[in-house]
């Protein structure tokens, strides 16, 4: 099992960024365009037990994925767990720690297990981590655009 972690301090209240990130339509706005994120079935706002079905294009393949929200504590944390998809394990913890009235530390921790077999020879832990680094960096830039510049 591999773990990817990213932290960034964001100049806004935890509730503001939490509310934004728990609305699937907003995730489309901040996802890299090359992943072609499409929601197949998703609530307007996440809550405990929500299931989210979506399709993305990664590593040249379109993947259909289902996540379930297994923890939800507004505005501090929510956790997405893989129900079905290309990897054996995927748990994404989103934590929002309010540092001050206008600063929040956003922590993303993703536990995952790369696929096995021939696919696993190409889709290695390091390749997945590099992809996550790029996607999180893009998301942080887009969060700034949508939350702070609008």
pLDDT of residue 85 exceeding 70: yes
What top-level class would CATH report for the domain 2-148? alpha beta
What pTM, to 2 d.p., does this model score? 0.93
Q: What is the mean pLDDT of residues 127-144?
A: 94
User: How high is the pLDDT of residue 65?
Assistant: 97
- Non-local CB neighbours of 132 within 8 Å, separated by 6+ positions: 4, 6, 110
pLDDT of residue 10 exceeding 80: yes
User: How high is the pLDDT of residue 150?
Assistant: 58
* Domain ranges across the chain: 2-148
User: How high is the pLDDT of residue 120?
Assistant: 78
Residue 87 in tokens: 């990897």
Distance of CA 122 to the CA centre of its chain: 22
């Amino acid at each position: 099992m591999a773990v990817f972690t990213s932290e960034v301090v964001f100049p806004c209240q935890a509730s503001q960024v939490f509310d934004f990130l728990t609305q699937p339509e907003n995730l489309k706005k901040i996802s890299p365009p090359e992943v072609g994120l499409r929601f197949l079935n998703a609530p307007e706002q996440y809550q405990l037990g929500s299931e989210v079905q979506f399709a993305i294009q990664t590593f040249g393949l379109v993947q259909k994925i289902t996540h379930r929200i297994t923890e939800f504590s507004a505005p501090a944390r929510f956790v997405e767990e893989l129900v079905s998809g290309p990897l054996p394990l995927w748990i994404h913890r989103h934590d929002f720690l309010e540092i001050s009235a206008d600063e929040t530390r956003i922590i993303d921790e993703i536990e995952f297990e790369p696929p096995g077999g021939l696919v696993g020879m190409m889709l290695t832990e390091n390749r997945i981590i590099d992809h996550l680094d790029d996607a999180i960096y893009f998301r942080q830039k887009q969060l700034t655009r949508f939350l702070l510049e609008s």
